[in-house]
């Protein structure tokens, strides 16, 4: 089905601009995202420095991107749930809890990746 939406570089530029707006909104309104962002700023260069070879560097740094991504999705779920139904509802609570659980799993992934890469060097 043809669309009147612009294609190519203009659409890419618009998508990039919207993504930057989303990152700014998360930074401004989400304390958890800011905390994870601060950890990212510290751990990302550390991961590049201590990782031996491209695979280790990718595991150490890539796991950090997953936490930020999960936090953005969790915040989006929470925002839309609050907009749709400000009063408590079991399904709304479940959706928020599941989003939070996704962030927790990604944080566990960071600990696992960093632990598996660093453990042989420490012991």
Binding residues: 24-27, 30, 71, 78, 87-89, 96-97, 100
Alpha-carbon torsion 44, 45, 50, 54, what sign? positive
Do residues 43 and 64 touch, judged by C-beta distance below 8 A?
yes
Is 90 a catalytic site residue?
no
Do residues 95 and 67 touch, judged by C-beta distance below 8 A?
no
Rounded to whole angstroms, how far apart are CA atoms 3 and 6?
Answer: 8
Q: 5, 36, 71, 90: which one is catalytic?
A: 71
Give the DSSP letter of residue 120.
H
Residues with catalytic annotation?
71
């Amino acid at each position: 089905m043809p669309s009147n939406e612009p294609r190519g570089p203009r659409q890419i530029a618009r998508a990039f601009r919207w993504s930057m707006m989303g990152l700014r909104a998360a930074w401004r309104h989400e304390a958890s995202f800011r905390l994870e962002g601060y950890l990212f700023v510290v751990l990302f260069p550390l991961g590049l420095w201590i990782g031996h070879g491209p695979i280790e560097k990718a595991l150490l740094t890539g796991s950090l991107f997953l936490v930020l991504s999960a936090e953005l999705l969790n915040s989006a779920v929470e925002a839309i749930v609050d907009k749709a139904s400000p009063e408590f509802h079991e399904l709304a609570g479940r959706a928020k809890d599941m989003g939070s659980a996704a962030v927790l799993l990604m944080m566990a992934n960071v600990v696992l990746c960093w632990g598996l890469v660093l453990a042989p060097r420490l012991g």
